[in-house]
Amino acid sequence: MRLLHLSDTHSLHRSLQNLPAADIIIHSGDVSKTGKAEEVMDFIKWFGGLDYKYRIFIAGNHDTCLDSKDAAKIQKLLPENCIYLYASGIEIEGIRFWGIPAFISYLLNVEKYMEDLEAIPRDTDILITHNPPYGILDRYGNTRYGCPFLQQKVLEIKPEYHLFGHIHDAYGSKRHGGTTFINGAILDEQYCIANSPVEINL
């Protein structure tokens, strides 16, 4: 099976041309720039129309119109085989995916965030978050912006892949502790398209 991972398109999704073929395309958040509903709906229309068997996405900190919204209601707006994960998972052809967003509300309710982290199944094959774990593809300048609690959880459950974005300058991949970590941020810190989606062969 072939996956294609991207993140942080910030409403420039329609500028992406000639995307590589894959069975599943995964977007790990910040689909919009200002978080307005019309931006997210334009992304959904574009994403849902892509020629992939399955399309999976989560929300990032910019996607504020999705914050605390009922995931089941959002799922009903999506075309077939387009999946919105919100502290939830799906199994596709024997591969177990789990997605955690990066909502601003988590800053106000850290207990809820910790509960969502704790709920990640131990048998997860591919973990999708917006934030990076601490110390791994999370550096901007001299500062690391990754989450230490997420780092601890990932090192505990050891998914085969951990896909994320958020820190635009930290695009790339790294193998550590039995997991391949991939920051798939498409835009640079000036919000210009600078990177390509990452292809993954399972």
Q: What is the CATH number of the domain that holds 18?
A: 3.60.21.10
List the one residue out of 143, 141, 145 whose CA is nearest residue 183: 145
Residue 152 vs residues 22, 99, 123: alpha-carbon distances, Å: 31, 16, 16
Checking if the pLDDT of 190 tops 90, the result is yes
pLDDT at 77: 86
Q: Are strands 139-140 and 88-92 parallel, antiparallel or unpaired?
A: unpaired
Torsions phi, psi for 107 (to 5 deg): -70, -30
d(CA 146, CA 136) in angstroms, rounded, equals 7
75 pLDDT higher than 90: yes
Q: Assign 7 a pLDDT band (cuts: 50, 70, 90).
A: very high
* Residue 94 confidence (pLDDT): 96
pLDDT of 60-71, one tens digit each?
Answer: 999 999 998 899
Q: For residue range 107-163, what is the model confidence (pLDDT) as tens digits?
A: 889 999 999 999 999 999 999 999 999 999 999 999 999 999 999 999 999 999 999
Average pLDDT of the residues of the chain: 96
The amino acid sitting at 139 is R
Q: How confident is the model at residue 168 (pLDDT cuts 50, 70, 90)?
A: very high
- The pLDDT assigned to 155 comes to 95
Structure tokens at 4: 């294609």
Is pLDDT above 90 for 80?
no
pLDDT at 108: 87
Global pTM value: 0.97
Q: How many domains, in total, are found in the chain?
A: 1
Q: Which two tokens stand for residue 81?
A: 């085989």
How far is CA 115 from each of CA 109, 110, 119, 146, 150, rounded to the nearest angstrom?
10, 9, 6, 18, 12
pLDDT for 68: 83
Residue 190 belongs to domain spanning:
2-201
Euclidean distance between CA atoms 108 and 15, whole angstroms: 34
